[in-house]
Amino acid sequence: MDNTVRIFDTTLRDGEQAPGYSMNIEEKIRMAHQLEALGVDIIEAGFAIASPGDFESVKSIAGAVEKPVVASLCRALVKDIDAAYEAVKGAKHPRIHTFLATSDLHLEYKLKMTREQALARAVDAVKYARNKCENVEFSLEDASRTDKDYMCQVVEAVIKAGATTVNLPDTVGYATPNEIYAMVSNVMNRVPNVDQAVISMHCHDDLGMAVANTLAGIAAGARQAECCVCGIGERAGNAALEEVVMNLRTRHDAYGIGYNIKTEEIAKTAQLLSKITGVKIAPNKSIVGQNAFAHESGIHQHGVMANVKTYEIMTPESVGVKKTALVLGKHSGQHAFSQRLADLGISVAKDVEDKLFAEFKVLADRKKTIEDRDIIALVDAANGHAAGANDFTLKNYVVSSGNKMYSTACVTLEKGGKEYTESAFGTGPVFASIRAVEKIVKHAFSLQDYQIQAVTERRDALGEVTVKIQDASGTYRGKGVSTDIIEGSILSTLDAVNKMLAGVALGSGAAACAQRSFDDDMLSGHTDR
């Protein structure tokens, strides 16, 4: 049997469906490039028919990456399959991923179909997809609660119809590892043509078992694992890619299964997702949390100093966490700064590097030591801002604030060589500054989310502010970093406002709504075939 598991990343589809993780096209493409660098075998780029934005993202990703297979999800409906294929057909390696629920619960209450009708629909959908594309995956939604004999019947029939991968999801995160092992073994042992397709796992984490269940499926013969970076996804999320892969690497003795992932890219990938979405990685998150390799207690530190293996089962380097010896500060020159960028795997054009170096010097005047996380935050903010000629930039601001008064802010912005100044008041200095920005740009918006996080630990830490603003056209995310939270707030608002004025909205709101109305379609038995 094939001893390599294919890693199918669904961060940009199942992951992006989760509240707070929506991304615009440009952000999805950045993520897709990093997933390619990570070495994932398949990227599920979206649900093409969900919205025009989703369609465009899938299509752009299909054209942007070379090595991985690019898949689009679609229901077992002609119009969905058509949209999925239109979106992925430009990929070097396209895949149509179609699905239909097979548990009696879903059939009776959601689809209002008999088992026979569902079987026929699955076969028709696979045949139709296979006429368009050589690479077709079929998912039996809610497989873990599907009757085992019926499951074998469906798996056999869809493979006969041309499915090259068959996925057995634990859609609601209900199964135990023993049950998953038995479910996959049953299919491996009883479906006569099972060797003509790859069996796949797709486990949700409602009971915290997604990774364990995925590994149980692999142990029983599944050779594709569907995962999301940092385990994001619907409700409690999907199996975390980094956890599945590092289990296979660290416990090769137990699983004996290979993979194509460059594990050294794992930390960078998780950080990119966090930077793009503004959702911080929990410090104790396995593999990629800030504390994953930190040894705090004296006993542990002593053990690690004597022999690192006492408390470290994998090295930080194996997931791409580098320990740097040299501390940068205000006396560091551009040579040391560019060397550090290179060490961090960041390559930027000379003019961007000069700008970053100037920002680094300003920061070094305010902050004693500059850590890698500070540099990454500066680079990230520069990526986010990429200020064009039509963008507003911050010139200066003054705020006055106190505990027994309204705060006031006077803000000056610049655009196309012209300066604009407005003042506003509010219940706090952040609110007042955002209002002043709103007055200058003469475009009303509401603040949907505001988050501030310290990039590093000490008092002089950089603060990274992430805002989400909304107008009638959509939702826009912005970021700003500064040692001053008012400046960070204005910069992040400007980042979002510039995107709003340029019309670069996030994708998910529309996608989520569209998906809901699809479910309604299915509920009302509307089939369209």
Residue 30, contacted partner among Zn ion, ligand KIV, none, CB below 5-8 A by kind: none
> Nearest-5° angle of CA 269, CA 270, CA 272?
65
Q: How far is CA 136 from CA 9, 96, 195, 323, in A?
A: 16, 5, 15, 43
Q: How far is the CB of 95 from Zn ion (least distance, A)?
A: 16
| Footprint on residues 305-334 left by ligand KIV (CB under 6 A) | none
* Residue 99 binding partner per list ligand KIV, Zn ion, none, with a CB distance cut-off of 5 to 8 Å that depends on partner kind: ligand KIV
Q: Which residues of this chain interact with Zn ion, rule CB under 5 A? A: 14
Least distance to ligand KIV from the beta carbon of 139, Å? 4
Residue closer to ligand KIV by CB (options 111, 321) is 111
Residue closest to Zn ion when measured from CB atoms: 14
Question: Under the criterion CB under 6 A, does residue 16 sit at the interface with ligand KIV?
Answer: no
Partner from ligand KIV, Zn ion, none contacting 137, C-beta within 5 to 8 A by type = none
User: What one-character DSSP code corresponds to residue 453?
Assistant: E
DSSP 167-236: EEEETTS---HHHHHHHHHHHHHH-TTGGGSEEEEEEB-TTS-HHHHHHHHHHTT--EEEEBGGG--STT
Contact 162, 126 (CB under 8 A): yes
Residue spans of alpha helices (H) in 220-349? 241-250, 252-255, 266-277, 298-306, 334-343
Measured between alpha carbons, how far apart are the two ends of the chain, in Å?
Answer: 38
For residue 479, what are the β-bridge partners?
A: 466
For the CB of residue 515, give the shortest distance to ligand KIV in the complex, in Å.
10
Query: 139 is in the binding site of which of ligand KIV, Zn ion, none (Cβ under 5 to 8 A by kind)?
Result: ligand KIV
130: which 2 tokens? 């296979």
Least separation in angstroms between CB 170 and ligand KIV: 8
Residues in the chain: 529
Q: Which residue is it, tokens 């294919």?
A: 6
Choose from ligand KIV, Zn ion, none: what does 141 bind? Cβ within 5-8 Å by kind: ligand KIV
Applying CB under 6 A, which of residues 59, 93, 202, 340 lies at the interface with ligand KIV? 202
Distances (CA, A) of 272 to 27, 215, 260, 375: 10, 26, 20, 14
Using the rule CB under 6 A, is 169 a contact of ligand KIV?
Answer: yes
Q: Which is nearer to ligand KIV, 18 or 29 (CB)?
A: 18
- Which of the ranges 166-174, 302-310, 340-348, 377-385 carries the binding residues for ligand KIV, by CB under 6 A? 166-174
Q: Examine residue 141 and tell whether it contacts ligand KIV (CB under 6 A).
A: yes
Instruction: Report the distance separating Cα 525 and Cα 425, nearest Å.
Output: 54
For ligand KIV, give the closer residue by CB, 44 or 487: 44
Nearer to ligand KIV, 171 or 470 (CB): 171
- DSSP lists the bridge partners of residue 400 as 408
Q: Give which of ligand KIV, Zn ion, none residue 223 binds (C-beta under 5 to 8 Å, depending on kind).
A: none
Smallest distance, ligand KIV to C-beta of residue 130, A: 18
Task: Confirm or reject binding of residue 173 to ligand KIV (CB under 6 A).
Answer: no
Q: What is the DSSP string of 20-34?
A: T----HHHHHHHHHH
Residues 323, 317: Cα–Cα separation, whole Å: 8
What track of x and - describes contact with ligand KIV for positions 81 through 100 (by CB under 6 A)? Answer: ------------------x-
139 touches ligand KIV by CB under 6 A: yes
SS3 readout for 333-378: CHHHHHHHHHHCCCCCCHHHHHHHHHHHHHHHHHCCCECHHHHHHH
| DSSP state, residue 397 | E
145 makes contact with ligand KIV (CB under 6 A): no
- Nearest distance from C-beta of residue 203 to Zn ion, angstroms: 9
The residue range among 150-158, 164-172, 313-321, 506-514 that interacts with ligand KIV, by the rule CB under 6 A, is 164-172
Q: Return residues touching ligand KIV (CB under 6 A).
A: 14, 99, 139, 141, 167, 169, 171, 202, 204
